[in-house]
A = this chain, B = another copy of it.
């Protein structure tokens, strides 16, 4: 076995650990157990394919897909934080995630490492159309899931309406046709008491 293949297999095995990172999202179809970040990554990758026609700028769906497949891998070391945690916690998390990206993507051979690290940073920085659409997909899916589950993780964690509006803002520019849908759903959730108002 070449050194390159040995490194690739180590990376593939490392990925198994993302299946043990649990999020606040609930899986209605599986007795409302917590969702893990591996299955979430699968779900948003496919969500991006299905909703790609709504992207405002021309996005490269294969780059978006790869971004979404890798976007949470850093949680193997850094853990998942809830999207609506205090910003101090979220700031500390960013440092941990950068170190995690270096270690985990660093398992790959040199020929593959830099491309993946760069793609992960592009997603995090959310400045390119591909990254903004990927972020938008990462935001809309929990909304779709919570709307089918009596508020799901919003209701369980007493999340405010304005927090969900802020978090979904990427959609306003990167997929404006979905933005109206999202605002309507947020209003319904608020009426039902699944989202808090001040």
Interface residues of A (CB under 8 A from B): 1, 5, 8-9, 11-13, 15-20, 27-30, 35-36, 38-39, 41-43, 45-47, 49-51, 53-54, 61-62, 65-66, 69-70, 108, 111-112, 141, 144-145, 148, 177-178, 181, 184
Contacts and interface: CB of A to CB of B under 8 A. Distances in A.
- A interface SS class: helix
Contacts of A69: 42, 45-46, 49, 65
Contact of A20 (B9, B16, B30): B30
Nearest to A50: B8
A11 B148 CA distance: 13
Identify the interface centre among A18, A19, A36: most chain B CB within 10 Å of its CB: A19
A65 B181 CA distance: 29
A43 B15 contact: yes
Contacts of A19: 27, 29-30, 35, 39, 43
